[in-house]
Structure 1
Amino acid sequence: MGGSPSTRRVTVVNDELSNVITVSSSVVKRLQGAEEDDGKKSEQQSKAEAKTAHLSRVSLMSSLFRFASTLKMNFDLLQNHIEGLDSLTVQQQVQREVQRAEKSWKTQISELERQNNQLWDLANKNFESKIKDVENTYISEHKHEPICQEAEKTLDSCYKTNKSKPLNCSAEVKNFVSCVNLVRREVFNSNA
């Protein structure tokens, strides 16, 4: 553990930017000429470290110059492209796209309205035919005269005379209900 000499490590980290080298803080201190705490540096180590630091600086500077030139080229290309576009032509292109989209939507809406009208007409025709079928089957064959009209008139007049006391008309209600039940039995017996 404590008996072996420690080796020096230099960490090079390449983060987000391409062609950019990040060096550790100890390398930065050495580049700035700071002395180590233990004071055991040999002259050869100092020269090797200085040479390494110089190479790191040169590499870093060349990477920065390459990156800057790439940025400048990209900026120039983009600027030339933007200058090549005339604002009037851009406006005309946008206007054409808007008109094309409006035409497409109007066509789709009119087609949907046409289909909706067809479905509405078909549904109305079906409904009318079903109504006629029901009328022909159930209503026109079984036309009846109103039943128990006399009992209904008596009950109605009783309710009018006894507006605040409807229970006084219980006898008339019984007569009307028995009349309706009698007619109902006759209809069921005639159909059976």
Structure 2
Amino acid sequence: MGGSGSTRRVVVEEDSEGAGVVKISDSVVKRLKETGDFAGLPSPPEPREKPLPKPEKLPRFERDKHARDLEAFYQDKLRALEEKNALVYRTTKEQFAKAVEEVEQKFLKHTGSALCQDFQQQVYQCYKANSDKTLMCSPEVRQFTSCVETARQNALTRKG
């Protein structure tokens, strides 16, 4: 299985940039770019001009200054993120309101006027007067139903 011994030598050296940083040679970068495997990888971080010394090796007053600088840096980042979040929220809220308005214009603009109100009132009065004998109101109900059916037919013929 492993008859043709293809070997690669990997040398990992610890650098002054810190732990977890692995340097690769230019030839490896070139091979990755040629094969296209490099496209999905994140771009390497830009080198710092001056590496930050480790806080425990600094004198106390410099550590305090370093802590204040870090706090100010992250406060600025937090403020920027809050502003960005507020902008995204406002934009989303405006887009949502616009979408609601479009839907209302498209679907809720067709409010029908009351049809056959006089017949409806007659049915109501009849039911009120004959609450225990509702079948006595069947002529009024038939008139109302007929009126609604006629209005529906007229609406369909106007659209068609």
Q: TM-score, normalised by structure 2?
A: 0.49
Q: TM-score, normalised by structure 1?
A: 0.42
Q: Which has the larger radius of gyration?
A: 1
User: Relative contact order, CA 8 A, sep 6+: which one is greater?
Assistant: 1
